Amino acid sequence: MEQIIRSTGVTESERYLAKLADRTFLNLWAYPNVYRDDLVNGHRVGREICDLLVVCGEHILIFSDKDVGWSANQDVNIAWSRWYKRAVQKGVSQLHGAENWIIRNPQRIFLDEPCTRVLPIELPQSGQRTIHKILVTHGAAEACARFFNPCLK
């Protein structure tokens, strides 16, 4: 049996997510930073599908992890809309894109960016699977605490 080499995450928050999955029961089914093989200018290029993919029975969990800094020197309404767009909207877009790729191209999911190691498990068939999309965001906790608890200012 060939050893399965999984990513450990690219960014600090992705590494934390991968460690969290590895330290729980999810380690049996979790694959951090999986990739797809896109054709760009006639060459195959690995593009990240999601930050963590978990496949357990008929359930597929797709995680997107966004660590976006808060603009503390701006008006809270402007800072919030910019943070929301970069953290939440981009994360949701990534989750929908990952779901679409998984549905249309389940055989083209890879464990590495060069797309040389295929995902070593078979995904559940259409009609037999449930896909869960999970967005993890970082960067606004302190600002939210200050905003909602003026004593912290």
Averaged pLDDT, 40-59: 90
Q: Where are the alpha helices (DSSP H) in 90-140?
A: 90-104
Beta carbons of 97 and 48 less than 8 angstroms apart: no
pLDDT above 60 (res 153): no
Tracing tokens 């953290």 back to the chain, one arrives at 87
pLDDT above 90 (res 142): no
Closest CA to 20 of 60, 50, 63: 63
Averaged pLDDT, 75-103: 94
Percent of the chain with pLDDT over 70: 91
Stronger pLDDT, 144 or 134, i.e. the higher one: 134
DSSP 3-state of 71: coil
pLDDT in the model for residue 117? 92
Beta carbons of 111 and 6 less than 8 angstroms apart: yes
Using pLDDT thresholds of 50, 70 and 90, give the confidence band for residue 39. Answer: confident
Rg (CA), the chain: 18
DSSP E strands, the chain: 30-40, 43-56, 59-67, 109-110, 130-138
pLDDT above 80 (res 37): yes
Tracing tokens 């809270």 back to the chain, one arrives at 76
